[in-house]
Amino acid sequence: MKIQLKTTSLLAITTDCIVIATWGNKLLSSGAEVLDQRLKGALTAFLKKTTQLDNAGDSVFFTLREKELNAAQLLLVNLGNKKELTIDVFKKAMDKVAMSLEAIRCKSVCFAFDDITFKDANIGQAVRTTAIALQQATYRYEIYKSKPKTSALEQVIILGNKAQEKILQAAAKQAEATVSGMNLTMDLANCPPNICQPEYLATQAKQLMKKFSSVTTKVLDEKALKKIGAGAILAVGQGSNHKPKLIIIEYRGAAKTEQPHVLVGKGITFDTGGNNLKSFDGMLGMKYDMCGAASVLGVMKAIAELKLKINVVGMIAAAENMPGQDAYRPEDIITSLSGQTIEVLNTDAEGRLVLCDALTYAERYKPKSVIDIATLTGAIITCLGDINTGLFSNNDQLAEQVQQAAATSQDGVWRLPISSAYDAMINSNFADIKNIGGPAAGSITAACFLARFTKKYPWAHLDVAGTASVKLGMNRKATGRPVPLLIEYLLQQV
C-alpha cells in the first residue's frame, strides 16, 4: 500500500474516490467547500435532504457526473460533533469507510484530512488509523485457493494543509511501514502448520537479513541449544521431527555501544498439547500459536523500513508441540538455560517453557527493556476477550509506556498483577518450579512463571491469545495485533 501526501487543492486530485468528512450539523469541512462551490452547491443540497448520515460513523456515496471533477465519486462520512471528535469515533468511521471502498473495488482513494482536529489525538494518528483500517479491509489470505481474489486498492492519497505537512509526512511513512509489518505478520500467522515450521520461521528471519543491511540474523539449532543447555525449549520440541530453533534478529539503527530493546516471540508452529493432547475444539486454531513470533518478524521489518535510530533485537523461540515416542511427558523434570529446574505437569503449558530459555538468553544483551509476545493462555480470552491484550510487567515505568503506546495506537492492553501470592502457586514439590499453577488465575500464574526468568531487566509480557487472532467459523483468523502497539512503543524509544 502506497501512501502519498498532497497539500494541493482537492480539485487538482485525480482519483477514484475522495473521502470527505461532514459534521453532525451537516456542514461540510473547509476542504470540501471548494468542491461544493465547483458543484454549484449540490453537496450542501444533498446533505440537507439525505437521511443516510444521521449518526456519527454513517457514510454515503455521492456519485458525480462524468468529468464533473477529477474524481469519479465522493464518499461522505459523518464524524459527529466537530469539537468532540475522538480518535475512537474516527477509527470506527474509518473501519466502515474502508469496507465500503473495498466493496466498490476502489483502486485509488484520497482522504481530505485538511480540516480535522481531535480532542485526544493528533492528525498523524489519524493517518495511521486510516491506513490500518484499509489494511484490515483489503487483506486476504488466499494463496492456497485456485482462484485467489485480490484487492484492487493501490494508491492512498492524504490531503492535508501546509501547516500539517511535516507531521503528516512522518505519519504517512510510519503508516506504510506498519501496514507492511502487519501484512507480513498476518501472512505468517495464517500460513498452514505443514509449511510454517521452525525452519520456515528461520528462513523468514534470514530473508530480513538479505533485504536490510541493518539486520543480522542468527539461528541456534538443536545442536547449539544442547551446547548452551537450553533444556526447556529442547524438551518442548523433542516430540517433533521439526526440531526447535532459537532465532535471533539483530537490528542496528544506533551505535554498537547502545543497549538494545529486545522483543521475544512465542513461536509454537503447532500446539497439539503434546501428550496432554488437546480436544478437537481446542486444537483448531493452534497454527496461530506462533503469532508472537509473527509479530516480532513484522515489527523488525517495519523498523528496518523506517530506519529507526535505536537498536532492537528480535528473538523467536520456535518449536512444534507434538505427542509421540520421544515427546516430553507430564512429571518430567527438565533443566532450563537459567539453571532453574522445572517440573512439567502439563505438556500443553509449553509456551512458558520455550520462552523462559529465550528470556534467559536475552540477558546477554544487557537490554534496556524486554517485551515478550505470546499466545500463552486460553484463560486470557475468558478474562479480556478479543478486545484487550493482557499486560504483565515487573516494572511500573515500562508498563506505563506500553499502556501509553497502546492508547496511542488504539491497540489496547489491560494490566494484570503478578504478586508473590500468585507466584507461590507455581512452587514445585520436586523441582524449583512447576509449569502450571491453578486452575485458578491461569494467565497470571503463567506470567509469574516467566517473571522468574526476567529478574535482571525491565520486562513486560503481552498475552495475545485473544487478540492476535479472532474466531472465524470453526477456526480463527489473524489480526496483525500487537504490531501497531509495538511499533508505537519503539517509536517512543528513539
Q: Indicate the helix (H) or strand (E) that contains 140.
A: none
Q: Using CA atoms, how far apart are residues 38 and 18, in angstroms rounded to an integer? A: 15
Virtual CA dihedral for 115, 121, 123, 125, nearest 10 degrees? -140
Which cell numbers in the block locate residue 164? Answer: 500539517
Shortest spacing between CB 271 and Zn ion, in angstroms: 4
**Shortest CB 463 distance to Zn ion, Å:** 11
Residue 334 binding result from ligand BES, Zn ion, Mn ion, none, given CB thresholds of 5 to 8 Å by partner type: none
Smallest distance, ligand BES to C-beta of residue 444, A: 11
And the C-alpha cell for 458?
525491565
* Cβ-based burial of 41 (10 A; exposed 0-12, middle 13-18, buried ≥19): exposed
Report, as residue numbers or ranges, the catalytic residues. 278, 352
What distance in Å separates the CA atoms of residue 215 and residue 250, rounded to the nearest whole number? 6
User: Which of residues 115, 187, 289, 372 is near Zn ion by CB under 5 A?
Assistant: 289
271 binds Mn ion (CB under 5 A): yes
User: Mind giving me the DSSP string for 52-72?
Assistant: TT-STT-EEEEEPPTTSSSEE
Within 10 angstroms of residue 417's Cβ, the number of other Cβ atoms is 11
> To the nearest whole angstrom, how small is the minimum distance from the Cβ of residue 205 to Zn ion?
20
Task: Give the nearest distance from C-beta 349 to ligand BES in angstroms.
Answer: 4
Whole-angstrom Cα distance, residue 334 to residue 237? 13
Calpha distance 404→279 (Å, rounded) = 38
Q: Give the closest residue to 381 by CA, choosing from 444, 460, 467, 446.
A: 467
In this chain, which residue has its C-beta nearest to Mn ion? 348
> What are the CA-CA distances from residue 42 to residues 68, 119, 217, 236, 250 (Å)?
12, 31, 59, 67, 57
Give the residue ranges of DSSP H helices in 72-164: 87-103, 123-138
Find the binding residues for Mn ion in span 321-380 (CB under 5 A).
Answer: 348
**In the complex with Mn ion, which residue's Cβ is closer, 35 or 233?**
233
Q: Which amino acid is at 97?
A: V
In degrees and rounded to multiples of 5, residue 262 shows phi and psi of -115, 135
Interface residue list for ligand BES (CB under 6 A): 271, 285, 289, 346, 348-351, 375, 377-379, 436, 442, 465
Q: Identify which of 73, 164, 156, 160 has the alpha carbon closest to the alpha carbon of residue 113.
A: 160
Count residues binding Mn ion (CB under 5 A): 2
Q: Tell me whether residue 168 or residue 268 sits nearer to Zn ion (CB atom).
A: 268
Smallest gap from residue 280 Cβ to ligand BES (A): 13
By CB under 5 A, residue 357 contacts Zn ion: no
Q: Does 320 bind Mn ion (CB under 5 A)?
A: no
Q: Choose one: 51-59, 133-141, 343-351, 485-493; the region binding Zn ion (CB under 5 A).
A: 343-351
Judged by CB under 5 A, does residue 267 bind Zn ion? no
**Cβ-based nearer residue to ligand BES, 16 or 271:** 271
Residue 72: count other Cβ atoms within 10 Å of its Cβ: 18
Q: Which stretch binds Zn ion (CB under 5 A): 79-87, 125-133, 144-152, 285-293?
A: 285-293
* For ligand BES, the closer CB: 348 or 357: 348
Q: Does 351 bind Zn ion (CB under 5 A)?
A: yes
If the CB atoms of residues 125 and 445 are measured against ligand BES, the closer one turns out to be 445
Smallest gap from Cβ 375 to Zn ion, in A, equals 6
User: In the complex with ligand BES, which residue's Cβ is closer, 58 or 271?
Assistant: 271
Q: Which residue is nearest to Zn ion (CB)?
A: 271
Q: Which stretch binds Zn ion (CB under 5 A): 18-26, 142-150, 261-269, 325-333?
A: 261-269
Torsion of CA 195, 201, 203, 208, to 10 degrees: 130
CB 292 within 8 Å of CB 343: no
Instruction: Give 271 or 411: the residue with its C-beta nearer to Zn ion.
Output: 271
Residues 154-213 that bind Mn ion (CB under 5 A): none
Residue 211 is which amino acid? K
- Residues lying near Zn ion in the complex (CB under 5 A) are found at 268, 271, 289, 351
- Residues lying near Mn ion in the complex (CB under 5 A) are found at 271, 348
